[in-house]
A and B are shown apart, each in its own frame.
Chain A
Amino acid sequence: MEPPAASQFSIPFKKFRRILECNNAVIEKIAEMESALGGEYVFDQAFLRSAVAELGKLVREVVYSLNDLSDNRFLPLYDRFEAIHNHLQDLVSSGPGPYADHLALPYYLLNRDLDHLVGAKNANLGEIRNYLHLPTPDGFAITGAAYNLFMEENDLFVQIEEMAKAVTDNTERAARISEMFKAAVMPTSLQETVREQLAVLVAKIGSRKQLSVRSSGVGEDGSRSFAGQFLSLLPVQPKLKNLLAAYQQVLAARFTAQVLDYLGDEVQVRAVPMAVAVQEYIPVRQAGVIYTLDTTAAQDRELLTITATIGAGAELVSGRTDGDRYHLSRQHPFAPVRSTLCGQTGDDPLQIGEDGLRRGSATLERGFFTPLAEAGMLLEKAFDRPQDIEWGRDDNGRLVILQSRRLNLPPRPPPQPGRVAAELRQAVLLMQGTGQVAQLGIGSGPVVHVEADGDPADFPVGGVAVCRYASPQLSGVVRKAAAIITDVGSATGHLAAIAREYRTPALFGTGNATEILNEGGNVTVDAEEKRVYAGFIKGLVALQASAQDEPYLSTPEVRTLRRMLRWTAPINLTDPTATTFQAVNCHTLHDIIRFSHEKAVESLILLHSSEKIAAGTSSRDLQLPLPIRIRLIDLGGGLGADLAPEGEIPRQQVQSRPFNALLEGMLGEGVWDREPAPFGLRDLLSNMSRPLSALTNAPAYSGDNLAIIAENYCNLSLRLGYHFNVIDSYLSADPDDNYIYFRFVGGFADKEKKIRRAALIASILNSLYFKVEQQGDLIVGKVKMLDQDHMTAILTRLGELVGFTRQLDVRMVDEQAAESYFAEFLERTRQPFPADNQG
C-alpha cells in the first residue's frame, strides 16, 4: 500500500503529467491543422468541427489542472480560454468570428480574412502591411457594423426602401437619398470610437499629417468589382469634425446615381455595407498601377504592366490621364519588353527636339522597375491570382502600396487533362515522392542555392530556393521565392508557417535536393505531387491559372481553417521572465498551453519545496555510502517492485531515471575520492568526511533532503550547509516533455564571494545547455526538450556539480582554489554528450 503522503502527492503530480500530455496533444493537433492548411490532407467541415471540439476539451483541461495545482492562482486564464474558444466555435459554424461587433479596427489587427467586416481594401492592406511587410499607409477601418449602425439609427434602410418604391429614376433616387444623408446624425458611440482611433493614429503619424478617407465596401472586389464606383476623399484634416464629415460623405456616395445604376433595378440598400478606410495621407511624387498580368498580351507571352504618372495616381486610375506604360517580363530580372511614354514631365515640359520627339521623358527610371515588379509578383503569389495594384512613391523615393485587388481577367479554359498528362510524361522528372508538403502549389523558376545566413536581398524574386535546412532565417527568401525545397525540415516547423503566409509552394525534408538541383537550371515544382521537373512545364502552370474563379486556397473551408489557426497557432508569450508573461495576455490557444506549461512546472516546484510537505511525510531513507540522508517518496514506478517493506532503501532499488542519473553524478568516484585526486583536489578534499558528517548531522538541517520520485520524474530538495538546491526533472522518450529545472541559492561567506561563486555555477550550467538566470546569489537554470540520453548526461553532470559545491562549501579554503577547481570542472563538461547537438 502506498504511504498516505505519497497518495497526497500523486494527485498534483498526476495533474502535472496530465498537463504535459494535454499540451502535447494540443501541439499535435495544431500541427495537423497546419498540415491540412498546407495541403497535406484533404479535409472538410467535419474535420474543422472536431478540431475545435478536441482543442477545446484539451485546453480546458490544461487550464483546470493548472489552477488545481496552483491553488487557483491563474483564474484569468479561464476567461482567456473561453474567449478564444468562443471565437473558434463561432468561426467553425460560419459565424462572423472575432471583432464582429467592433465599429472600428486599427490596421495592425487586420488581415485578409476580415474582409467581411472591413471590406477587401482594408483587409488586403492589413495583410500586406502585417504579414507581407510591404510599406503601406497606417490607419484604421471603420467597419461595416458601423455603417449598419449609422443606417439603423437614422432609419435610413427603411426610408430608402420606402422611397425607392415610389421613385424609379435613379438620378431622382440619388438626390433624395443625398438629402436624407445630409439630415442624418452620427451615432454617439460611433463618434466616440472614431475619436479614440483617430487619437491613436495621430499619436503614431503626428498631427501634421493629413488623412485619406476611402471607401472599402464589404463585397466590393468580390464577384463585382465596383471599381471606381465609390468615393475617396483626400487630403482630409486630422480633426474629428473633418473626418466625420468626410466619412459621412463616403457613406452617402454609396448611393450615387452611378452606383444605383451599377447595382441594377433593385436599390439593394443592405448590400455592400460601406466600410471605410481612414489612412495617413502620403503625398506622392509618382504614382500608378501594376497589372501583374498584362490583359492585352498574347497568352504565350506573359507580361507585367506598370503605368506611372507624375503626382497622385487618382487621375490615372479614373482614366482622366494617360501615364507612361511599361511592359516587363514576369521573370526576374523583369526585363522591359516595350514601353509607351506620354512625355509627361510635371511642371516643366521638355522641349521638342529637332527630330520632333521629346527627350528623356520617361516618368520612371529603370532602377525602380525592379521593386515595383517584385512587389507585384509577391502580391500575386500571396493573393493567389493576378493583381491590380495601386502604388505611389513618397517624397523619400520609397514605394508605398495603396491598394491591391484581384485583376479581373477573362476566364481561361483549363487545358485538356490528356495534354497536361502527356506533357508531364515527356518532362524530365528530377525529383519525386520525397519530402513533406509544407505548402501546396506550383512554382517555376531558376534554381538558386541559398544559405540560412545569406542576405535575402540577393535572392531574385521568382527563383526556386534550394537549401539544406528549413531554417526560420530563410523567411526573407521564402517571401521572394517561386518555391522552396529543403533537404532537412518538416511541414510543421516555423518556416512552413511562413511559407503558408506567403503562399510559397514548399517541399521540406527531401533529403538531397541540394545535390540534385543544379544552380541556375530552370525547374517547375509541383509541391502537391512532391515532384520537380526540369524546365518550365506550361501545362501545369496553366492548370493552376485556370482555377482562378475560386482557387482551392480561397475556398470557405480553407479560409475558415486559416482564420481558426490565427487564434490557435501563433505564440505571443515567448519570454517567461517578461512582465507581459501573464494569463491575461494569452491571445491564442498556443499561448495558453505555453503559459500553463511554464506555470505548472513552477507550481509543482513550489508545492514540493514548501516546508509543510516535508513535515509529517512518511518517507524512507535512501541507503548511501555517504554521511548524508536523503528521504524518498515514490509517486509510482520510482522504486523497484520487490523492495522490502521497511528499512533503508538500497541504491539499486531506485528505478527513477532522472534520480538515478543525478545520484550517479553525486556519488561519482571523481567527485568524492578519486586517487590521485584530479585538478588538485587532494588539498581541497582532505578530511572531507569529517566536515561532511558534521554538516549533515547538524540538527538544523537533518531530514531536509527530500527526493520525490517517479519512474520518469524526480524532485530533489537538497539542503547542504547553507545551500538550498532544487532539482526538478522529467525524462521521457518524447524530448518535447523533457526538462530539468535547477535552483541554487545559498549562504556562504560574504556576499561578494557568494556572487562570484554563483557566476561560476552559472557558467557551468551554461556549458551544460542550461538557460540561466542569475540574481545575486540565486541561480535558476532550465534546460528543455532534449532527448533522454542527452538529459541523462546533463543530470549526471549536475549531480557532480552538486557534490562539488557541497565540498566547496565545507572546505572553501580560498577563492582561487575554488575557481581553478570550477575551471577544471568546466573542462570536463566539454566532453561530448551523446547526440551532441543542441536542439
Chain B
Amino acid sequence: MTEATGNDRIWRLLVVDDEAIVGKRLQQVFGKMGFVVESHTSPAVALEAMAAQPFDIVVTDLKMEDIDGIEVLSRAKTINPAAQVIIITGYAHSETENEAFAKGVFAFIAKPFRLDELKQVINRALDELRQQAVVPSAE
C-alpha cells in the first residue's frame, strides 16, 4: 500500500501543469495518500512556491508557456538536490529526454496516462527518497 506518511515525515508534492485538470485530479488522489499537494497552472508561481518551501516530489508538464518542464526540473534540483522530478508530456524528442536525464529527471510519463502508472512511479520515487534519507543517518 502506498504511504506518504507513516514512520517518516509527510512528503511534499508539487504539480505543475498549465491545464488545471491535471493538478486537480492529482491533488485528489495524492491527498488521500497523505501527501501535502500543491498544484499550479503557472510555472512561475510554482517556482516561487518551491523557493518558499522545497518539495520532495515534483510532477511537471513538459510543454508550457514561458517556462518549460526542463527549467522546472533544473530549479527543483537546485533548490532541493534530493527532489525527485517526474515529467509528464504528450510528446518528447529524444534530445529533450537526454537533456532531462542529464539533469537528473526521475521518470517520463506520456499523457494520457493511467493513475496507476503515475502512482507506481511516485512509489519508486518515494523509495529513493527514503533511501537517501537513511544513508546520511547511517554514517
A residues with CB within 8 A of B: 36, 40-47, 50, 414, 417-418, 420-422, 424-425, 429, 432, 526, 528-529, 540, 543, 547, 550, 552, 555-558
Determine if A557 and B28 form an interchain contact, defined as CB atoms under 8 angstroms apart.
no
Q: Is the CB–CB distance between B112 and A36 below 8 Å?
A: yes
Q: CA separation between A421 and B32, bound complex, in Å?
A: 6
What does the 1/0 interface line of B101-129 toward A look like (CB < 8 Å)?
00000000001111100100000000000
In the complex, 26 of the A-B residue pairs with CB atoms within 8 angstroms, ordered by the A residue number, are A42-B26, A42-B113, A43-B112, A44-B90, A46-B111, A47-B111, A47-B112, A50-B90, A417-B10, A417-B32, A417-B33, A418-B5, A418-B10, A421-B4, A421-B5, A421-B32, A421-B34, A432-B1, A526-B32, A528-B115, A543-B28, A547-B24, A550-B24, A552-B25, A552-B28, A555-B24
CB-nearest residue of chain B relative to A422? B5
Task: For B36, list chain A residues within 8 Å (CB).
Answer: 417
Pick the interface stretch among B14-22, B47-55, B68-76.
B14-22
Going nearest first, the 7 A-B pairs with the smallest beta carbon separation are A421-B34, A43-B112, A41-B112, A557-B21, A44-B19, A46-B90, A47-B112
Task: Give the residues in chain B near A547, CB-CB below 8 Å.
Answer: 24, 28
- Residues of A contacting B: mostly: helix
CB B88 to nearest CB in A, in angstroms, measures 8
Apart from A44-B22, A555-B20, A556-B21: 13 A-B pairs, beta carbons within 8 A: A40-B114, A42-B25, A42-B111, A43-B112, A417-B31, A417-B32, A417-B36, A418-B5, A425-B6, A529-B32, A552-B24, A555-B24, A557-B21
- B 50-80 binary contact with A (CB < 8 Å = 1; else 0): 0000000000000000000000000000000
Interface size class of B (residues with CB under 8 A): 20 to 34
**How many angstroms between the C-alpha atoms of A468 and B14 in the bound complex?**
40
User: Does B37 sit within 8 A of A, measured CB to CB?
Assistant: yes
Q: How far is the CA of A43 from the CA of B26 in the complex (A)?
A: 11
Residues of chain A with a CB closer than 8 A to B112's CB:
36, 41-44, 47
How many angstroms between the C-alpha atoms of A552 and B1 in the bound complex? 24
Closest Cβ of chain B to A457, distance in Å, is 34
Residues of B within 8 A of A (CB): 1, 3-6, 10, 17, 19-22, 24-26, 28-29, 31-37, 90, 111-115, 118
Between A42, A45, A47, the greatest number of chain B beta carbons within 10 A of the residue's beta carbon is seen for A42
If the complex has contacts A417-B37, A552-B24, are A44 and B32 also in contact, measured as CB distance less than 8 A? no
**B34 x A418 contact (CB < 8 A):** yes
Which B residues are in CB contact (< 8 Å) with A555? Answer: 20-21, 24
Q: How far is the CB of B121 from chain A (nearest CB, A)?
A: 12
Residue of chain B at shortest CB distance from A47: B112
Instruction: For B90, list chain A residues within 8 Å (CB).
Output: 44, 46-47, 50
Residues of A within 8 A of B1 (CB): 429, 432
Most buried by A among B31, B32, B35, B114: B32
CB proximity of B6 to chain A, nearest CB, Å = 8
Chain A residues with CB below 8 A from B114, complex form: 40-42
| Residues of chain B lying within 8 A (CB to CB) of residue A558 | 21
CB distance from B29 to the nearest CB of A (A): 6
- With A40-B114, A41-B112, A528-B115 in contact, do A425 and B3 touch (Cβ < 8 Å)? yes
Given contacts A543-B28, A543-B32, contact A45 B3 (CB under 8 A): no
- Listed residue (B3, B22, B28, B114) with the most chain A CB atoms within 10 angstroms of its CB: B28
Among A40, A414, A421, A425, chain B packs the most CB atoms within 10 A around the CB of A421
A230–B32 Cα distance when bound, in Å, is 42
